[in-house]
Amino acid sequence: MSNKRWKGTGFRWLAGLAAVLASLSAPAADDPVKPDQAFRYTVAAEGGDIVVRWDILPGYYLYQERMSFEARTPGLVLDAPRFPEGEPHEDEFFGLMHIYRGQTAIPLPVAAGPAGGGPVEIAIKSQGCADIGLCYPPQTWVAKVDLPAAATGGGSSRLEALLGRSAGGAAGVDQPLPVAQAFRHRIEVVDPFSVAVHFSIEPGYYLYRHTLGLTSNANGVQAGTPTLPPGTPFNDEEYGDTLVFYDEVTMTVPLTRASPAALTAPFTLAFQGCKTDSICYPPQAVTVELALPEATGSPPPAAGEPVSEQDQLFELIRDGNIGLVMLMFAGLGLLLSFTPCCLPMYPILSGIVVGQGNGSTGRSFLLSLAYVLGMAVTYTALGAIVAAAGAQVQAVFQQTWVIVGVALLFVALALSMFGLYELQMPAGIQTRLATLSGQQRSGSFVGAGIMGMISAAVVTTCVTPPLVAALTVIARTGDIARGSLALFALAFGMGIPLLVLGASAGRLLPKAGAWMVSVKTVFGLLMLAMAVWMLDRLWPGTITLALWAVLLVVGGVFLGAFAPVDGAAPTGRKLGKAFGIVALIYGSALLVGALAGNENPLRPLQFTTVAAGGAGETAARAPLFRRIKTVADFERELARAGSEGRPLMLDFYADWCASCKEMEEYTFPHPDVRAELARAITLQADVTAVDGDDQALMARFGIVGPPTIVFFTPDGTEQANRRVVGFQPAAQFAAHVREAFTAGRTTALAEAR
């Protein structure tokens, strides 16, 4: 159901509650009555059925599709209700529904009951509305009924009728078993981080592979992607080509937990099965409480199995000396600082130094340090919170209103650089800070720190193996301290070049003078470029390309592209004019490319290169992935891969992910990579919007964020130890894909034997 429908339904429920409360305080002839007065019911056992009869007041109605029944007594198994035909009703929020008015009766066939009959309980769930325009919240009533011994298993006559058999001599031979007997299951806690579910399936019955799952999201415990053996291919009328299990199957489910302490958590086991050439049971959901022991670590990988980079770093954080861990992660952060993800930091910090500094090395360094510390603290706190909560890193700060707000902040900073106004803290706050610290301009350090916080939260959107490892330690073991220290070291390492930049800016730049106006203008343009970069994910790429063109043309003018320069002019003016002309020419090329419908600023005139490149260039740019959006889309494609006996690769991509675009530009088009991927079904999940479907799909695999690439064997088993996180060059990625697909084929052949 869409968010709009949920919101609309919520408003209708609130309106119904308000109306009911109003009716209790000031009753009137036309006021709505309480739900139990508007919808009266009786329950009785009749033959092999439990019959629920409704007596609905005039002016009220019940939804058929919002009505369900649940057995609350152990041993009682109800077959599907026999709903009478309802009146078609076009609902504003639910769409086409069927409703009941007046009196109606709904038989519930009893498939199995307690030995000897006796009192049983059923839960009746329903939702209804009044014609005056209000809807009541969903209601749940528990009713008791005395079930005669003869009624136990009374549903058999209906089941036999469905099979085209009489209730005569063959009765009891082909009668479908109760679901609890057909699919017996046992749940075992293997260790603090995994649970195994063992199914014993009766002969002549089967379970759908794609319906098996174990979920939990309470007490700080989350269930991950289950590991299942290969199933048997099966062509189903409902699901098409799918996979099923006969006889027995074991499902292993990894767990992540917010605390290492021993605890008890609720789990919901889902499954659905059928009787061969007979009926299919409704989807089942069984809730159990499991006691998890204290977590002292996580199981090591099997001997000889490859270990992904992020898993190796996970083990280092968990088990290594914390001082060495922080030193190593600071080094990894230093390496990450030269990736495209961190490049936006440089113009931001440079603008802060130029806009607030006074030319001294010491002050510039302190401004840079305030910025880097703000970035590191926020990076650490945000990472710890989202990891402990089980959320995706980017989900919080990739909402449209956040992006627009930050872009407007960059525009405000740019206008300040242009001299339209002076950005500074209120005088009262500056005075208090000066009193506390003895520095008249301490507010600038606070502003630099705040800007570092914003930059860390919004600008650095790259997901890397060190980041995933630190977040996994927090989420899986509950050790927030070690994971957070690794995050802090990683973020501080990313800021080391920024500290060097801040210190050198104070030393290399001349003292304050007229030149500062031109420099501040240049950094103002860089701030506007940051705003364009932020908004790129919200509108078509051609608009972004056009804005880049405008910025470059304006920048070329400011650099003196049209200013006269004679031979006696200083070298600086000559270089400025030369760079201005280059910016003007490149900006013009971008504008032509935008008008032609192109989006790539590195290839604005790509329409000429395609013609020159011919078929080879076209093939290299041909679509490689089939796009999916939801978990259901993935399950459908996974079943197709299984039926075709092909491996599958799933790539998580987003427009705001710099490393994703690197993969798109330099890795995926490479002939060696395309040749390897041609052996498999290749899917891509575009999670740019980070909406409900995107988050559900990422949560399905425990994905921290893009770029993450997941591999599956032909039987549908994920190769978790071969995940790719972050950018990989074409040659390295092609070798990785070859190994993953070869290993998957070897595993499938071994299991087939």
pLDDT tens string 694-728: 888 887 787 777 888 999 888 788 887 788 888 88
Highest mean pLDDT among 167-171, 382-386, 624-628: 624-628
Q: So what's the pLDDT on residue 681?
A: 92
Residue 278 has pLDDT above 70, yes or no: yes
Pair of tokens at residue 426: 């209120």
**Checking phi first, is residue 450 left (phi over 0); if not, alpha (psi -120 to 50) or beta?**
alpha
Which string of b and e fits 53-84 if b means at least 16 CB within 10 Å?
A: ebebbeebbbbbbbbebebebeebbbbebeee
The more confidently predicted of residues 366 and 683 is: 683
Q: At 647, list the tokens.
A: 């491996």
Q: pLDDT class for 361, splitting at 50, 70, 90?
A: low
pLDDT given at position 155:
41
CB atoms within 10 A of CB 589: 16
**How many Å apart are CA 386 and CA 691, to the nearest integer?**
16
**Is the model more confident about 147 or about 298?**
147
Question: Where do the domains of the chain lie, and which CATH numbers do they carry?
Answer: 3-162 (2.60.40.1250), 179-292 (2.60.40.1250), 312-537 (no CATH), 541-612 (no CATH), 629-752 (3.40.30.10)
**Distance, first Cα to last Cα, the chain:** 44
Q: Which residue has the higher pLDDT, 383 or 186?
A: 186
Extract long-range pairs of 440-449: CB within 8 Å, 24+ residues apart. Answer: 441/356, 444/356, 444/367, 445/366, 445/367, 445/370, 446/370, 447/352, 447/356, 447/423, 448/352, 448/356, 448/367, 448/368, 448/370, 448/371, 448/374, 449/370, 449/371, 449/373, 449/374
- 108 sits in which H/E element: strand 103-112
pLDDT, the chain, mean:
75
pLDDT at residue 199 is higher than 90:
yes
pLDDT, mean of residues 258-284? 84
Q: For residue 384, what are the β-bridge partners?
A: none
Reported confidence tier of residue 3, pLDDT bands at 50, 70, 90: very low
In this prediction, residue 433 carries a pLDDT of 43
Flag whether pLDDT at 682 surpasses 80: yes
% residues pLDDT > 70 (the chain)? 70
Token pair 């769409």 is found at 95
Lowest-pLDDT choice from 73-87, 214-228, 302-316, 568-582: 302-316
| pLDDT given at position 28 | 44
Distances (CA, A) of 287 to 147, 149, 214, 268, 574: 26, 29, 10, 4, 76
Answer for the pair 50, 44: CB distance below 8 angstroms, yes or no.
Answer: yes
Higher-pLDDT residue of 15, 347? 347
pLDDT for res 52: 92
Per-residue pLDDT band for 490 (boundaries 50, 70, 90) equals confident
What are 143-171's pLDDT values in tens digits? 888 887 655 544 443 333 333 333 333 33
Q: What is the arithmetic mean of pLDDT over 315-328?
A: 78
